[in-house]
Every structure is written in C-alpha cells, then in structure tokens.
A and B are shown apart, each in its own frame.
Chain A
Amino acid sequence: MNCAIHLQGISKSFGDTKAVQHLELDIAQGSMCGFLGPNGAGKSTTIRMIMSIIHADSGSIDVLGTTALKAKDRIGYLPEERGVYRKMKVAKFIEYIANLKGMYGSSLKKTIAEWLERIDLPDVQHKKCEELSKGMQQKVQFLAAIIHEPELIILDEPFSGLDPVNAKVIGSVINDLHKEGRTILFSTHVLHQAEQICDRIVMIDQGVKVLDGSLGSIQEQFDPRIVQVETVDPSVCFDSIAGIANISMSEKNKRVNLRIHEDANPIDVLQKVVAFTPVRSAQISKPSLDEIFIEQVARSRGTEAAEAIRMELDHA
C-alpha cells in the first residue's frame, strides 16, 4: 500500500494534558478518510503535527514520502480556525496563498474565477474579504486550500458553520476531488457526515485511536442491537415483548427503534415483533457511527463517559 500519511507512535502533550498518545496511522493514497472524534479528542493537534505546524514530542511522521515541511506545495490544508486577510480582495487573497504554494502564471486569475464560479461565489472576486459573510469566507478559504491542485487534502472540520446548501456544495467538490484520485483526510465531530462520504474511518478519543477501518468492517465489528420497525398502527406499544431494553421514536422517518438487551438475540426479537403487529418494514439495523463510538467509549471509559459523549453528539 502506498501511504500518503504514515504516523508511527506519535505523542504530544501540552503541560500535563496528553493531547495525543502513541498514535499509529496509515492513510492510503487516493483514499477518503474521516478522522473522527468528539471535541478535544486530539484531531486538530494530530493534523497540526501532520502539517509540521507543531512538532510531536515523540514518534515519526511521514507525509507523501517526506515531511510536510518539504511537501507543503503538494498539500492543501484547511485549518479548524478560519482566517482571511480582512482588507484583501477575495481574488488577491486566493492568489497570494496560491503563490505561497508555488502556483504562478497568467492562468491563475482565470483558474480562480472558474473555481469561484464552481463554489457558487461568482461575483466576489473584487470584494474585500471582510465584506463577505462568515460562510462565504469559509468557502473562500476552502478554495485557497485546494486551488493549487494538491495531491493530499487535509480538511479540519470543513462543514462546521456552513448551512446545508453550502455544505452540499463543498461536499460535492470534495467528492469530485476524491474521484480525481486525490487523498483526502478530513476531521469532523459530526460523525454522520463522515458516514456519508468516507471510505475509511479513524476514530480517536482522548488522544488514543479507538477505531480504524472501512465503515462496513467497523459496523461488522459491532453486534447490531437495534430493530427498526415501521408499523401500520402507530399507536402500538412494544413493552410486552421480551428482550427490548429501550424504545425510541425516530422523528425523521416515523420509525420505532427497539434497543435489544445484551443477553437477548436480535433475530428472536425481530420475529416476535413481526408476529406481534402488522408492519410495513422491520429490520435489524446496522449501528450508526454515533452508536459505535458511544459503545466504544462505554467499553473503554465506562457508561458515564459514554452518556456524556451521547449528549455531546446529540448537540452536534
């Protein structure tokens, strides 16, 4: 496997806080990897170390066969903290960052104009950055990160602060870049975003890697313990069926989620449900990344920590 990023046992502490601990990570070239975890998990610190912005206390980092310092022009990076030169004009700002990435030439202005069109910002070239909304500034900064057509794109929380329409635009560009063969690593604390577009998931918690693999393989590692039912009669109550630990209603699709007891067999419960009442559909659902992550935290740090994570993810 050709690795775009290879991390070997990297650790980083800030005072007494261990931000990242012995992290091992290989990201294959051409993959789209989601780097997930709750706030404060150590995602941004890891990314900053990958970018050589801060240095690891121990371990080694290999980026595109060398270090990020030597390969900066081949990497596109959107940091977590958004920033632009407020007084600079949009096109000039993007041009300046492109110049710093080693991109020059008369065609640069045309490329910038085309890209601005593509991300739905057609008439902002000559506007000052401070005249744009926060979301528009974020799109400008995203463009500055990818304008030089990098091989490796690292995006730290690319969708945070964007409305659904703009998030879709950026998501579509990220997908296109992936199809062109670029390696993409993006971090998010909103796990279902990663679920939708990533072919590889790395999850960290408190600076330690807790999950690593393709979405399918991760889901298979976890015993599916939810039966999802769409009933004909919405007033049906499942309390009398043995083996159900918890019942919740999905507001989105009007389905009932039945969480199965640890000692019950999900297939037995599914059969009982179908026998109990007429249903439009009933299935043993795959666990979502949120659920997998919560379960993982529960295993490693106990149920209290898992509940705290659940609340945090619910608010994300």
Chain B
Amino acid sequence: MHKILTVAWREFRHTAMTKAFVLGAIVMPILMMALFILVIPLMMDSNTTPLQGTIVLVAPNDVVVELETQISKGITSIEEVADQLPDVITNDPIASAMLGNNSQTDISILVAPNENLDSLKDQVRNGDYVGLIVVPDSIIQDDESDEQLSLFIPSSFSPNHMDILTRATSQSVVNVRLRRLGHEPKDIHDLVRRPRTIATRLSDDGGEERDNEFARRIIPMAFMMLLWIATFTSGNCLLTTTIEEKSNKVMEVLLSAISPMQLLAGKILGQAGVSAVILCMYGSAALAGLVTFALLDLIPFAHLLMFVIFFVIAYFMIATIMAAVGSAVSELRDAQSLMGPVMLILIIPLALWPVLAEHPNGMIATISSFTPPLLPFVMILRVTASTEPVALWQVILSIGIGLGSVIAMLWMCARIFRIGILIQGKPPNILQLVKWIRQG
C-alpha cells in the first residue's frame, strides 16, 4: 500500500502542484470570473460616456416636444425589457450592470426646416452637430407609410449613442401617434404591459411548489458540466502521464520496483485527488455564487449526496478508459484514434442536454441513465432536472450498474494496462485490445 501511495502522491504532485495546472485550472478561471464580475461592468460603465452636443431635428413640432421630453427623463425603455426577465437575472450583478446602463444625455435640440439637408449633413460630418434626425410627417399620419425615420451621424459615432437616439425618436413617434388619436401614451403602455406569471406545480401528494425555470434548466446543466470537467480534466492528465512514462522509457524502471497493478492503482488514486481538487474548486465557487444570490435552497442536500456518488462512479469510469488507452499507445497522437469512439459516446449527454433536461423521465433519459459509461452524467442530470423525483429504485439501480461497471472496467483496464505498458510501436486497434483483455 505504501508503494501505491508513493505513486499516487507523485502523480498528484506532478499534476496538481505544477505551474501549468495552477495557471490553467485555478488562475485562469479566477481571472475569467474577475473579468466578468469586475472588468465588464467597469468597461460598460466607462463606455457610457454621456451623449453631449446638439442634435438637429427636422420633424413636426409635436415630435420635437415629445423627443425633448423623452431625452430629458432619460431613455428608460430598457426597463420594460428588464421587467420581463426572471428575478435571478436582475439579481445578477453583471446583468444589473448591463441593464443599469441607462443613458445619460446632455443634448440640446435644434429644430431645422426640411431644407438644405445636404448642408446640415456636412455640419454633422464636420462635428458641428452630433446628429441629424429627420422625421417625415407622413409616418405619423400613416403607420403604413413607406417613409422611414432617418438618422445621420458622424462615422465615429458610438453604437450605444446611436441606439439611444433611435429608441428615443421611434418612441416619440409612437407617443405622438397616440396623442394625435387622443390617448395618453402612459395609459396605453400600462394597458399593454404584460403581467408577470408565477407558475406553481401541483404534486400528486397535494403539495404546491413554485416553479423555478432557472433551477430547472441551469442547475442540472451545471451539475453535469461540473462532473464532466472534473473527471475529464484528471482523466486527460492520467492519459498524458501514462503516455509520457511509456515514451520516456521510464516504465520499465517503475516495473522493476512495483507491479503493474500497483502502478495503475497509484496513478488512478493520484488523479482522483486531482479530480477532487477541481471538483471542490469549481463546486465551491458555484455554491458561493448561489449563497451570494440567496439561491442555495435550490439545491437540496440529497442532490449533493447523489452528485458525490455519481462523481466517484464517473471518475473511475473515465480514469479506467484513459489509463487503458494511455497504456496501449506510445504517443499522444496515437491516442486520438482510440479516444474517438469513446468521446463520441461520452459527448451524448452534452449534446442531448436540452432534451434530457426537458424530459428527465422520458425513455431516452431513463435508458441512458442505466447505460455505462453515460449513466453518471445522465442520472445526475435527471435527478436534478426532474420536477417529480426520479423513482428511488431507478437511482439505486443506476448506482448498482455504475459500481458493477466500474469493477468490470477496472478489471479490463488492468488486463490492457499490464500488456500495453510494455508494448512500443504501432498502436493496437479495438479488436487487439479485446484480445489483450482475453489474454490478460
């Protein structure tokens, strides 16, 4: 056991305690998060420099008045959009920063007659005015008119400021149309504003539960992705370190000191530590996020427990595949041909995520949650996505099949590993691997 632990510690140390790992798996995600949380709002904030200057307006008088009103009260129509978004998005600091991107303006409006438009365009071009807006009376009179609002701006004009002017002008036109028909725009807007809907799910046992679409869609995806990232990152490291030991010819030195099974056990154990570090790191970041937004109650403790169980199953499944492939080839590029079919199967849960999350108790989801090596990824998706709890017998059966598969895969992997680590040259095909398993 001491030798297995020695191998495991080296495997862990030379994977998780390297600059490359710290940079790739820890620093980079932190930098990315920092970028989203701090830098983007700052950038957006700095981007919202007030729109200043004089706009020339060629429009009917009531449009001029309306536009002045719109600009003076600030462009707030985005609030209507925000109103329709789920709470969780408006709670998000990044989204809030983006939604709070209210346009500050310091604009004066110069009304001009519908003459000498070319001269006015030249003045806009020269920077005398920040823009020229032309509102034909016909588009107020007749909403089916072919004529359109025209906005002339300098080539360097900010898209954000252009959006402000476009929205303010088109809103003014709508308001003027309403006023001309004798309606108060605010009343009409209030009338057409769609009310928010609260969906409540009624369970068979008489209970009621408020539906949380976010929890239903995003959290299962997050659980599955976390499982994927944690197991595949360490699995990939297991693959590369095994190939490295073969290509460095250090394998025979190791085998003079330990048996192939001790080496395999140590490597799998060491990379399990790496996987656990990744899981804890990303998992705790996700939990911290949920705590920050007071959403922790979206994840019951049972789901976390299930996650740990299926993580163990998923890790050993992926690790045995990676160790077997790594032992069978001498170079990383040779591994691609063997990894291709495996990846094709393992990508299924990711590709079918929307379907599986929408119908977690459907036939595809149910069958794939009993099918190794997909089962840990699909079952954790089912467990966390289902509005109705997945039948306990199905969970137990899935765990049972998973553990049985892990034992079978470890056995097969050990047989391939024992032969593969001493083989150099042309990599074997799938049929040869089956032969190795039989030879053992």
Contact = CB atoms under 8 A, between A and B. Distances in A.
Contacts of A102: 2-3
A295 B7 CA distance: 49
A88 B18 CA distance: 11
**Prevailing SS type, chain A contact patch:** loop
Nearest to B256: A77
Contacts, number: 59
Chain A, interface size category, equals 20 to 34
Contacts of A75: 256
Given A79-B253, A79-B256, A83-B252, A100 B422 contact: no
B256 A51 contact: yes
Interface of B: 2-3, 6-7, 10, 14, 245, 248-259, 422
B249 A96 contact: no
B253 A53 contact: no
A69 B14 contact: no
A140 to B, nearest CB: 11
Interface in A92-121: 96-97, 99-102
Interface of A: 48, 51, 53-54, 69, 72-73, 75, 77, 79, 81-88, 96-97, 99-102, 141, 144-145
Query: Which residue of B10, B249, B251, B253 has the most chain A CB atoms within 10 A of its CB atom?
Result: B253
B248 A84 contact: yes
A83 B7 contact: no
B251 A83 contact: yes
Contact of A96 (B6, B245, B248, B252): B6
Given A85-B14, A86-B248, 11 more contacts: A48-B252, A53-B422, A69-B259, A79-B249, A79-B256, A82-B249, A85-B248, A100-B254, A100-B258, A102-B2, A144-B253
Nearest to B253: A83
Nearest to B249: A83
Contacts of B256: 51, 53, 72, 75, 77, 79, 145
A87 B14 contact: yes
A62 B282 CA distance: 52
A141 B252 CA distance: 11
B387 to A, nearest CB: 50
B255 A53 contact: yes
A175 to B, nearest CB: 22
16 contacts: A53-B252, A54-B422, A69-B259, A72-B256, A72-B257, A77-B253, A79-B252, A79-B253, A83-B252, A83-B253, A84-B248, A87-B14, A88-B14, A96-B6, A97-B257, A102-B3
A54 B258 CA distance: 13
B14 A99 contact: no
B109 to A, nearest CB: 69
A83 B250 contact: yes
